[in-house]
Amino acid sequence: MRWRIDLRYDGTGFHGWARQNGLRTVQGALEEALRTVLRVAEPPVVTCAGRTDTGVHARGQVTHVDLAAELTGRDLLRRLNGVLPEDVAVTAVTEAPAGFDARFAALARRYVYRLCDDAAGWDPLRRTEVLRVGRPLDVDRMNAAAQRLLGEHDFAAFCKKREGASTVRALLEFSWERVSPGLLEGTVIADAFCHSMVRALVGSMIPVGDGRRDVDWPATVLAGKVRDSAVSVLPAHGLTLEEVRYPADEDLAARALQARQVRGEVHRG
């Protein structure tokens, strides 16, 4: 039986999602928890919607796992949270509908990057999820620049290139909001992300927001299709995977097939 497992985690103490020998990872922690509660010799393999990098957080990560054991979702949720470390929490365990694949069936991933541009608004209790910047930022200028990047493009200029992997993505939303004095949230939604794409996109907004670059500059960088050393890839801790969106149950299998045909690389921020 395939189970969908939703979870959230503080990425500070993890070397990203993907299991790595000798390193603490979210996948490793979840798979070890499953091994413990199921009392099996080898941990089941878990597949996630977005392989977050070292230090990136998640409130809406989605995974799936295939299990032979006869359990209820409520029982599995309770047992997993009983053995997982405190920086990981399972929020839901449900029987996955036919055709569900946490990675390939996803329609879009929503990330939020949080910035503080005013020392008076800095909250040290949120230092592991908000990045401090040294100059005030103009949200209107950042939104004007972000709008120029929407649509399907080759985002090679904002990605860490992987051999044989496509860098064409559909950027569905990129917007900025000042949610409180000194605190900005940048929402980035795409069908998928290539490596470091979100942090590079946000990095291109800061020099626009503080007036060092024109609002057309990020679009010019995008058109160049090569990495620009002037674009900073921002620190991971300001980034959170907030949500993964899926189609209706009857469309899951078709979506997964389409995604497999278009790209086989990792979806990550």
pLDDT tens for 56-67 read 999 999 999 999
> Per-residue pLDDT averaged across 36-45, rounded?
95
If you count them, how many residues does the chain have?
Answer: 269
246 is in an annotated binding site: no
Rounded to whole angstroms, the Cα distance separating 85 from 93 reads 17
pLDDT tens for 171-228 read 999 999 999 999 999 999 999 998 899 999 999 999 999 999 999 999 999 999 998 8
> Which stretches of 128-238 are assigned E, i.e. beta strand?
131-132, 151-154, 168-180, 183-190
**What is residue 254's three-state secondary structure?**
helix
Catalytic residue from among 6, 10, 53, 101: 53
Domains in the chain with CATH codes: 2-95 (3.30.70.580), 108-246 (3.30.70.660)
**What is residue 101's three-state secondary structure?**
coil
CA distances from 138 to 118, 180, 208, 218 (A): 12, 14, 8, 15
Burial track 93-109 (b if 16+ CB lie within 10 A, e otherwise): beebeebbbbbbbbbeb
Q: Is the pLDDT of residue 267 over 70?
A: no
Rounded to whole angstroms, the Cα distance separating 188 from 164 reads 25
**What pLDDT, on the 0 to 100 scale, is given for residue 265?**
46
pLDDT, averaged across the chain: 94
Please list the residues that pair with 131 across neighbouring strands.
115
pLDDT tens for 72-95 read 899 999 999 999 999 999 999 999
> Which stretches of the chain are assigned E, i.e. beta strand?
2-9, 47-48, 57-66, 88-95, 108-116, 131-132, 151-154, 168-180, 183-190, 239-245
Q: Is the pLDDT of residue 257 over 60?
A: yes
> Per-residue pLDDT averaged across 96-115, rounded?
97
Catalytic annotation present for 123:
no
Between 150 and 227, the more confident residue is: 150
Quick one: which H or E segment has residue 30? helix 26-38
**What pLDDT, on the 0 to 100 scale, is given for residue 269?**
56
Q: Are 113 and 238 in contact (CB under 8 A)?
A: yes
Rounded to whole angstroms, the Cα distance separating 262 from 228 reads 27
For the beta carbon of residue 74, count every other beta carbon within 10 angstroms: 11
Residues 6+ apart with CB under 8 A from 149: 171, 174, 201, 218, 219, 222
Binning the chain into helix, strand and coil, the percentages to the nearest 5 are: 30, 25, 45
Burial track 186-196 (b if 16+ CB lie within 10 A, e otherwise): bbbbbbbbbbb
